[in-house]
Structure 1
């Protein structure tokens, strides 16, 4: 009915197809039934993505080049693929299908990030948000070098926007520290996680769950041989008597 009113490629259809996709996603998350209901649930994500892709196609055609509308719909498609990859709907996706969904999500998040970067700048909340998603997706894909690149960009932007002592900055420090830990870069991971711990302790208190979770990671790092030796040397230097150049001349 809407397409008859506005035409097949009117801007008004972008929100229509987006809403249809979101409705399909909600159907995929519900249920718990068996048989036909399970099959319907497992295919709802695919139907949702079809609607999101249709909305993105209209936005791209009506707003060629870099436009916020195209970036927004690209982000919607990316989130659709990400939701499908992380879904517990039955039947479950195969590992290859999960990876394909994550790769597709990465492609559309990259498109959105490139447009937001060009249109709004690196420190805009939209740019930060999609770049942060790219870091998380690459963690899931175990591409830690790519994840680290995106996470560092996000952290630098958040420091500029929110300052050092902020929940947003601490969250990114924790993410980047976790990535460094996955790469066995214990020293950098330790430094980042200590910063996150300090900030969140000030903001949330020492007994907050997030603070405790970071403390557990720090303990694991400090028990590693290379960090144990480094911390031992630092403690020795710290406790060593200060050098004095006072002496008597006879």
Structure 2
């Protein structure tokens, strides 16, 4: 591999963004009280001076220790503590190597990936990944050693994967796909050079395929998305078996894609597989099983076939029961499930069952929330449809009170309810 030059994928759309290579002050201050003084932390989180560092005053020694601590925290799954050490790694790398070195780019790449996977902050993740990319695009000063080339290639994979998933989380499907394609290309070249195993670390082939599939869904490239999801599925099955919990999210993505193609039968098939794994791994009385059960209920409902009504009712009932048992009757997820269930019941003509379920769920003193307003709106509409105008008017009036508090009086939903109440009042049907 030493004879193979490092080829860094470029994208002209990024070339005029300017330098992003300054670590935000908030990053350096958020974990150490606003001071740049370096403190060591023991694995239990307490700040304690380490005897080993008393004689270590050079930045290079501090960097070595910080990297060791970050790796230790990662291995111990103490990811927030590892994130703090990665912030320090960026600052120390800049002090030691300057603003143009590939090691600083690698530190930015690791920090960006941490913001993505540990903190769930795509904007910050993208910023740090861009900083790393800009350093490498300006050219890197490095030796000809194979190990350093591996480090740079690994950083490139981390950079473009972080950019791809960050854009995905920010609903930028095209930008996500372009970055993830670069990851795919680098990995293919590494595979040809028989270097993939030594370079790829935390980012797996499954992760890349799954992200590419989701980016394709966002662009309505549904057939291509299914190809990527099938790749991810095969990778997991070959390495972990057909009952792996990792398959749950993949089957859900596949089902969603089939539903977008209006292929309800395959969608139901994938959700049945996801639900079966959930019940085996997490047990029937689990939040995970309730979530897949709810998706399955909606899939049966969306199919629209009369012979699926029994299955839809079964899974709606089961999921609602589990949410009530685990989260309580007033939890937003429980109430949202009631709303979904009731809408389907109304759709198939079971308005009385829908009304009773909503009445039991909303109680006599409805909380001021979006879901409570929606429940009251549905109940009021049922009364209006049955000719019970006064009862419907009272419920809609309460609904408007909550909508105004939650959305404001000028929101579309508030205005629609207000207009309906005004029309009922003018007609004299409201009794007020």
Into which bin does the TM-score normalised by the smaller protein fall? 0.5 to 0.7
Q: Distance in 1 between matches of 2:316 and 2:250?
A: 21
Q: How many Å apart are 1:65 and its aligned residue?
A: 3.6
Q: How many Å apart are 1:177 and its aligned residue?
A: 0.6
- CA gap of 1:218–1:103, structure 2 versus 1, over 3 A, is farther
Matched, 1:183 2:386: yes
Q: Distance in 2 between matches of 1:62 and 1:23?
A: 24
The structure whose Rg is larger is 2
SS in 2 for 1:108: helix
- CA gap of 1:205–1:6, structure 2 versus 1, over 3 A, is closer
Task: Give CA deviations for 1:175-218 in whole Å, capped at 9, x if unaligned.
Answer: 21111212222221011112223444566565554344324433
Matched, 1:145 2:348: no
SS in 2 for 1:197: helix
Q: Distance in 2 between matches of 1:129 and 1:167?
A: 10
Q: Distance in 2 between matches of 1:141 and 1:67?
A: 29
Q: Which runs of no fewer than 5 residues in structure 2 stay unpaired?
A: 1-233
Q: Distance in 1 between matches of 2:403 and 2:333?
A: 24
Q: How many Å apart are 1:136 and its aligned residue?
A: 1.0
Corresponding residue to 2:376 among 173, 197, 219 = 173
Equivalent pairs counted in the alignment come to 198
Q: Distance in 1 between matches of 2:405 and 2:237?
A: 54
Task: Give CA deviations for 1:9-29 in whole Å, capped at 9, x if unaligned.
Answer: 22222222112112222333x
Q: Which runs of no fewer than 5 residues in structure 1 stay unpaired?
A: 29-43, 86-96, 232-250
SS in 1 for 2:294: helix
Q: How many Å apart are 1:103 and its aligned residue?
A: 4.5
Corresponding residue to 2:342 among 119, 122, 135 = 135
Specify which structure has the bigger relative contact order, considering alpha-carbon pairs within 8 angstroms and separated by 6 or more residues: 1
Corresponding residue to 2:267 among 39, 43, 48 = 48
Contact 1:158 1:168 in 2 (8 A): no
Which residue in the other structure is 2:417 paired with? 214
Corresponding residue to 2:316 among 86, 103, 109 = 109
Q: Distance in 2 between matches of 1:47 and 1:157?
A: 42
Contact 2:376 2:395 in 1 (8 A): yes
More helix, by proportion: 1
Task: Give CA deviations for 1:162-181 in whole Å, capped at 9, x if unaligned.
Answer: x34x4443332212111121
Corresponding residue to 1:84 among 303, 306, 313 = 303
Q: Distance in 1 between matches of 2:399 and 2:417?
A: 8
Task: Give CA deviations for 1:217-237 in whole Å, capped at 9, x if unaligned.
Answer: 335645778x46x44xxxxxx
Q: Distance in 2 between matches of 1:125 and 1:132?
A: 10
- CA gap of 1:174–1:54, structure 2 versus 1, over 3 A, is same
SS in 1 for 2:302: helix
Q: How many Å apart are 1:75 and its aligned residue?
A: 1.2
- CA gap of 1:179–1:130, structure 2 versus 1, over 3 A, is same
Contact 1:144 1:182 in 2 (8 A): no
RMSD: 2.7
Corresponding residue to 1:21 among 255, 267, 275 = 255
- CA gap of 1:198–1:139, structure 2 versus 1, over 3 A, is same
